[in-house]
């Protein structure tokens, strides 16, 4: 069985992110893409527009001095332009470390990502880590 094209798109995004390839990432997002980050920390909120989303991704690396890693576990599609992914994040920031499960809910239109809703296993833990 071949993988659904929407799942393949999300996997390409994870691979580009893992390689720090923001050029490829930019080709996967619409100009008006939004990434929603939960919680009450400096990274929380609605990052609107391709460049702001890419800036968020760059900041994850900068804030953790390159230790931010994502291990993709699974990618699921509904065949109607929605994909869910599940992964584990590991990172260090100052004297803090984090290992936490997260999920992303993608909306895909015209073979590009338009919206990303981020979910986490523990919002409070993430707020402490990023604050």
Q: What's the pLDDT band for 2 if we cut at 50, 70, 90?
A: confident
In three-state secondary structure terms, 98 is strand
Q: Name the pairing type of β-strands 96-109 and 112-120.
A: antiparallel
Q: What's the pLDDT band for 1 if we cut at 50, 70, 90?
A: low
Confirm whether pTM is higher than 0.85.
yes
Burial 91-104 (b: 16+ CB within 10 A, else e): bebeeeebebebbb
- Token pair recorded at residue 24: 């490829």
Other Cβ atoms less than 10 A from the Cβ of 80: the count is 8
pLDDT at residue number 4: 96
What's CA 70's distance to the chain center, in Å?
9
* Sheet strands side by side (includes 69-77): 45-48, 29-37, 112-120, 96-109, 82-93, 69-77
pLDDT at residue number 110: 96
Residue 108: closest CA among 78, 71, 73: 78
Instruction: Answer whether residue 19 shows pLDDT above 70.
Output: yes
pLDDT tens profile 20-53: 999 999 999 999 999 999 999 999 999 999 999 9
The domain limits of the chain are: 5-130
pLDDT tens profile 72-127: 999 999 999 999 999 999 999 999 999 999 999 999 999 999 999 999 999 999 99
Select from 2.30.30.100, 2.102.10.10, 3.40.50.2000, 3.10.450.50 the CATH code of 5-130: 3.10.450.50
pLDDT at residue number 129: 97
């Amino acid at each position: 069985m071949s993988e659904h094209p929407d799942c393949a798109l999300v996997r390409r995004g994870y691979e580009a992110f893992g390689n720090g390839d923001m050029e490829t990432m930019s080709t996967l997002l619409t100009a008006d893409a939004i990434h929603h980050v939960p919680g009450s920390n400096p990274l929380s909120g609605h990052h609107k527009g391709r460049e702001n989303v890419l800036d968020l991704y760059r900041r994850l690396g900068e804030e953790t001095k390159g230790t931010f890693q994502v291990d993709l576990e699974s990618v699921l599609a509904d065949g109607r332009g929605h994909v869910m992914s599940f992964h584990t994040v590991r990172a260090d920031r100052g004297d803090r470390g984090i290992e936490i499960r997260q999920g992303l809910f993608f909306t895909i239109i015209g073979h590009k990502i338009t919206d990303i809703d981020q979910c986490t296993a523990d919002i409070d833990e993430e707020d402490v880590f990023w604050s």
